[in-house]
A and B are shown apart, each in its own frame.
Chain A
Amino acid sequence: MTTLTHLQRLEAESIQIMREVVAETDNPVMLYSVGKDSAVMLHLARKAFAPGPPPFPLLHVDTRWKFRAMYAFRDQVARETGMELLVHINPEGIEKDINPFTHGSAIHTDVMKTEGLKQALDQYGFDAAFGGARRDEEKSRAKERIFSFRTAQHRWDPKNQRPELWKLYNTRRHKGESIRVFPLSNWTELDIWQYIYLQDIPIVPLYYAAERPVVERDGTLIMVDDERMPLEPGEVPMMRKVRFRTLGCYPLTGAIESEADTLPAIIQEMLLTRTSERQGRVIDHDSAASMEKKKAEGYF
């Protein structure tokens, strides 16, 4: 009798989901956000389709405000996997110079991420897009399906989602409809870290603690990643040993003070520090925009 570990079972499930999508859709794509969940998702995709590379491109919907280390890491990953990397930046965002400082996190996210994603999916005609979201991230995601259907206008209709039984996924879609597929649905944050540790998966160095220039705003430590960051009167960047639990646009992502500079130390800190990971994201605090509402609008 062979007892599969929880990570082996999760891995097998994710691989089964990805193969199903490749077998039953015409033009799939993997949304690659450069974060740790994307790293695990990409690693699983390579396992699913080896010895060849995964038979779909990576799509990065860029906001122009990611950490510089993320861009460097992204380009390196594309080179090493031999996969095609598509980068899309909403041209309207460039034209109007949308940024989180002038426009606030809500508009920035809406224009650069939500609209940008829709544009890219339309432009390339993708009918399925893998995303790295997990059910444990937030209460409202607990009921999210693994295969989530979007109308031709990218709207999520919560009243019209399909029941998922056994390992059977109904991938039939009408012309113009697309599917968002979440192969990491049943993974938790701890599973992700443990898997990265066991499989030795490369991640962006920002997850590890290091001396970095930060300023403190509204109780959140924001890293001064480049010269575009406007400093308020009296604000002086200070060097602190910090790391990031999640990665997004640098002005919208809070750092935590930490000594954790190895994977075991990160996991240890995660298990002992009892603050859930999304708290580092400024987006969740934006009161007008609940996750549910964003999802209905097409935010991933």
Chain B
Amino acid sequence: MISENIESYLKEHEHKGLLRFITCGSVDDGKSTLIGRLLFESKLLFEDQLAAIEADSKKYGTQGSEMDFALLVDGLAAEREQGITIDVAYRFFSTDKRKFIVADTPGHEQYTRNMVTGASTADAAILMVDARYGILTQTRRHSFLMSLIGIRHLVVAINKMDLVDYARERFEAIVEEYREFARQLGLTDITFIPMSALKGDNVIEHGHHMPWYHGPTLMAYLETVAVDDQRHQQAPFRLPVQWVNRPDLDFRGFAGHIASGRVRPGDAIRVQPSGKASTVSRIYTFDGDLDEAVAGQSVTLLLDDEIDISRGDVISGADSPAQTADQFETTLVWMHEQPLLPGRPYQMKLGTQTVTATVSDIKYQINVNTLEHAAAKQLELNGIAVCTLSLSRPVAFDPYREVPDTGGFILIDRMTHNTVGAGMLHFALRRSQNIHRQPVDVDKPARALAKGQKPAVLWFTGLSGAGKSTIANLVEKKLHAGGRHTYLLDGDNVRHGLNRDLGFTNADRVENIRRVGEVARLMVDAGLIVLTAFISPFRSERQMASDLVEADEFLEIFIDTPLDVAEDRDPKGLYRKARRGELKNFTGIDSAYEAPEAPDLHIRTTEMSSDEAAETIIELLRERRLID
């Protein structure tokens, strides 16, 4: 058709689809031969390339006088000798029905990182099995990685059938063994093809060696297997906003690549994580407005309302918006020589959002060869583990299995800027699960106005027995007498209720203060003047509590009583117990107190009475115009 009617050829090729696939296998199982043959058969090789291969075949080929297809793709061997990192090579060929992009990963020691990278963009995978050896450890390993990355369509190419006399029994035995194993991994859509990449059987044509095989040839499979874009179109609508397009005051578009679903003008949408709602007014493209756009397209949306949207936000269909959360269970693949350390902050890129992320806990590491779970304190290059991930702020997401583009992420080292890890979000943990931030019309200023006051947190810190509760209590009485709406959060009282599950280890102290900080924030939001009386020994946690509210709403009040004085007073007898060793982790005795460096108020209790202290605090509130 090319030579007779190029126009109709072009017309036909205009409607071709695209399939991306990955080939898994190691050096000797015929992977390069297979890819070489696919390139050759698709007739997209040029004469100069063929001439070069023919010459090379005579020189280095392993196939005698026959052409060695493997040489077409084995440009990598020399580079490996030079020590160049080859993770994935991409090759291209096409037929009348589809264009193909093949991710080819060399099967050497970096297989995990490379395969995960190559598979992340693939719709399907071809797993090469040598008919002589059947299912090997590496077959299991590759299968696990494919299931991990969520490859839906898998071809098990049982190759080198020519070396087992094209025996049907051999093929069926391997199929049975593999099915048994695949069940454990949850792989379902598997096609088995007996093949000889070298001789060409069942690659493009069936050939005459295996009349007992009635399934598709590899090429027939590749030309018809479903691509992921179609599956993603059926999921709810998601558009991670890449860039806000404001060429002039009259145009405000939200540009991005549609991760899933479909959208039409008039559709109700919700913006995450803010939760704001609007309606799509136009789907703008350079070629004119669209009536509908689907997963896989890059578009620009215009909305009916002037709501605040920026890069990193996710526009969702209003009926099933993305979840927002800041703690997740994930599977993490480590990709760098520098090991993963729990507790160390990394930059996380999820869709178009970038946040700080910390692995708070490695639940278990997975052995890629045996699939066994083992405890781990850190994760080395090519290690895979199920982890708990905590973020600096909530992000919009979907479970990776449902929408890969809003559930797959990379971790970036903050110092070297290297991409050090890749992961998949499974689900949100605890409090953050399924919570959509509800935008409310009655806001903090409105509530404060109704009470006729400015909300604030008076954060008292100091040693046990320093006088925090006593002074805070006096301050609250004075405020209350003046008609102020207040609440006193006291260390002992909170530990009897909200925080009764916490002890006094450093980790529990951190959590104790985190919760109190959050409660104080809610109360400030409600318009209250909040007083907190906690030892709160660590600067970083007091900072965290301070960061939760506006800068002018937080007053740090240091109740400074020297240790010997506090120990002498010992109103609850705690110091005596601690000195006897009956009380562990007691602040000032065997646990540190980090005094504030620049408190808003420094009360030295050895120099003034509790009443005077309370009056000084009231004076400060007047100075800061928090009260009249």
- Point out residues on A near B: beta carbons under 8 Å: 1-13, 15-16, 19-20, 22-23, 46-52, 135-136, 139-140, 142-143, 158-168, 170, 172-174, 185-186, 188, 190-191, 194, 197-198, 264-265, 267-268, 271-272, 274-276, 279, 292
- Count chain B residues whose beta carbon lies closer than 8 angstroms to a beta carbon of A: 82
Q: Flag whether B76 is at the interface (Cβ < 8 A).
A: yes
Q: Flag whether B181 is at the interface (Cβ < 8 A).
A: no
User: How many A-B Cβ pairs are below 8 Å?
Assistant: 188
Contact A172 B412 (CB under 8 A): yes
Chain B 47-59 interface 0/1 with A at a Cβ cutoff of 8 Å (1 = within): 1111000000000
Contact B311 A23 (CB under 8 A): yes
With A5-B17, A165-B120, A170-B349 in contact, do A274 and B91 touch (Cβ < 8 Å)?
no
Nearest CB of chain A from residue B208's CB, rounded to whole Å = 29
What separation, in Å, do the CA atoms of A172 and B347 have in the docked complex? 10
Contact A143 B251 (CB under 8 A): no
What separation, in Å, do the CA atoms of A148 and B99 have in the docked complex? 25
What separation, in Å, do the CA atoms of A161 and B351 have in the docked complex? 21
The binding surface of chain A is classed by DSSP as helix
Contact A174 B417 (CB under 8 A): yes
With A52-B247, A158-B84 in contact, do A10 and B49 touch (Cβ < 8 Å)?
no
Contact A274 B46 (CB under 8 A): yes
Q: What residue in chain B is nearest A12 (Cβ atoms)?
A: B298
With A16-B298, A163-B419, A197-B10 in contact, do A50 and B412 touch (Cβ < 8 Å)?
no
Contact A159 B75 (CB under 8 A): no
Chain B residues with CB below 8 A from A7, complex form: 14
Nearest CB of chain A from residue B345's CB, rounded to whole Å = 14
22 A-B contacts, Cβ less than 8 Å apart? Answer: A3-B230, A5-B15, A5-B17, A5-B18, A8-B297, A16-B256, A20-B242, A50-B284, A136-B92, A142-B75, A143-B89, A143-B90, A163-B113, A170-B412, A170-B417, A172-B347, A194-B14, A197-B10, A268-B2, A276-B48, A279-B48, A292-B79
Nearest CB of chain B from residue A42's CB, rounded to whole Å = 12
What separation, in Å, do the CA atoms of A191 and B262 have in the docked complex? 26
Nearest CB of chain A from residue B264's CB, rounded to whole Å = 12
Chain B residues with CB below 8 A from A274, complex form: 45-48, 50
Nearest CB of chain A from residue B344's CB, rounded to whole Å = 16
Binds A, one of B213-221, B315-323, B402-410: B402-410
Contact B408 A168 (CB under 8 A): yes
Nearest CB of chain B from residue A49's CB, rounded to whole Å = 7
Q: Flag whether B87 is at the interface (Cβ < 8 A).
A: yes
Chain A residues with CB below 8 A from B24, complex form: none
Q: Flag whether B196 is at the interface (Cβ < 8 A).
A: no
What separation, in Å, do the CA atoms of A23 and B17 have in the docked complex? 30
What separation, in Å, do the CA atoms of A94 and B255 have in the docked complex? 43
Chain B residues with CB below 8 A from A46, complex form: 286
Contact A10 B18 (CB under 8 A): yes
Q: Within residues 89 to 105 of chain B, which ones have a CB less than 8 A from any CB in chain A?
A: 89-92, 94, 98-99, 101, 104
Chain A residues with CB below 8 A from B117, complex form: 163-165
Chain A residues with CB below 8 A from B419, complex form: 162-163, 165, 170
Contact A12 B297 (CB under 8 A): yes
Looking at A10, A142, A164, A194, the one whose CB has the most chain B CB atoms below 10 A away is A142
Chain B residues with CB below 8 A from A194, complex form: 10, 13-14
Contact B298 A159 (CB under 8 A): no
Q: What residue in chain B is nearest A279 (Cβ atoms)?
A: B48
Looking at A11, A50, A159, the one whose CB has the most chain B CB atoms below 10 A away is A50
What separation, in Å, do the CA atoms of A9 and B405 have in the docked complex? 15
Chain B residues with CB below 8 A from A172, complex form: 347, 412, 417
Chain B residues with CB below 8 A from A22, complex form: 243
What separation, in Å, do the CA atoms of A46 and B300 have in the docked complex? 13
